[in-house]
Amino acid sequence: MYTNITSRIQLSRLILGTGDLVRMDHEDLLDRYVNAGGNTIDTARQYTQSEKRIGEWMEKRCNRDVIRILTKCAHPRDDASFISRVTPEAITEDLNDSLEALRTDYIDLLALHRDDPEQPVEPIIEELNKHLEAGSIRAFGASNWTHQRIQAANDYAAAAGLQGFQFSSVQLSLARALEPMWAGCVSAAKDTVEWHCGNQMPLLSWSAQAGGFFSGAFTPERTQDNLDMTRVYYTPDNWERLRRAQQLAAEKGVSATQVALAFVLHQRFPTSAIIGPRRPEELLQSFEAEKLHLTADEMAWINLEK
């Protein structure tokens, strides 16, 4: 099964996230992912050596033509200032650096890594269309943009006869985020989900497994183990979602993490889930979760809608 971005760009439902690629045997991980049926790799200018290592791997394997690269640009500089870089100039600078690091002459999917609501959408859309027309990117989208900003950008694009954003990448999981995990991040609230249902724009979910919330490693009492997880996910509703996911998992003979991942893949609009396995068995379990079927009643029940 695939998520269609355009008639020419089909993404596997499970996208390999590479934010931690430098910490592991990356070639083995990439090989295992492709051998399991995956074709899409998520990276970013912000991810230190990730793009470089992916580029070297693709060159060794001679597989650039079958791999879909999703990379992200225009993230603030990695310093205390966190100054916005959502500008045409930064987009072009990062794109050129990504092309060089990845050892390729095109990017399948380019996403803006952050938004700056103070920046007008018009020059951003115009700049992205220039790169689309030049062939250096095949499609573009927005990561961590609200659906209202995406709609405004696409309204302008339609009026100007230009291509608008073709996908969104925000955080979507069975566990609802109480607040952003990192500055400038966006999670899919109910109105965002309904917006995607209405226009069927693909959503590529990062942290689709809610940082391991459903793994069994977290309990309501252990609030000091991981302060970020406590701050973002420790709510009574999420603990009930975990309990229901565990109950349904026991009935189906799978894990609660697999149920939670299947939830992301069973939305009423096109979705792919960005996964970050650290061990081969975690990768295998994710692909097994892709095959898991959830009924509409089960989806509603684990999401506290019934």
Cβ(15)–Cβ(273) below 8 Å:
yes
Q: Could you give the number of structural domains in the chain?
A: 1
**What is the structure's pLDDT at 267?**
99
Q: How far apart are CA 44 and CA 111, in angstroms?
A: 9
Cβ(128)–Cβ(140) below 8 Å:
yes
Beta bridge partners of 137: 107
**What is the structure's pLDDT at 25?**
86
Predicted model pTM: 0.96
**What is the structure's pLDDT at 286?**
98
Averaged pLDDT in 10-residue chunks for the chain of 306 residues: 95 95 84 98 92 97 98 83 88 98 98 96 99 99 98 99 99 98 94 98 98 96 94 98 99 99 99 95 97 98 98
Q: How far apart are CA 45 and CA 69, in angstroms?
A: 12
> Is 233 one of the annotated active-site residues of the chain?
no
**What is the structure's pLDDT at 155?**
99
**What is the structure's pLDDT at 83?**
82
Beta bridge partners of 141: 111
**What is the structure's pLDDT at 154?**
99
* CA proximity to 268, closest of 168, 201, 205: 201
Catalytic residue among 2, 33, 47, 106: 47
Domain CATH number, residue 75? 3.20.20.100
Residue 247's domain spans which residues?
Answer: 2-302
Cβ(109)–Cβ(100) below 8 Å:
no
Beta bridge partners of 274: 15
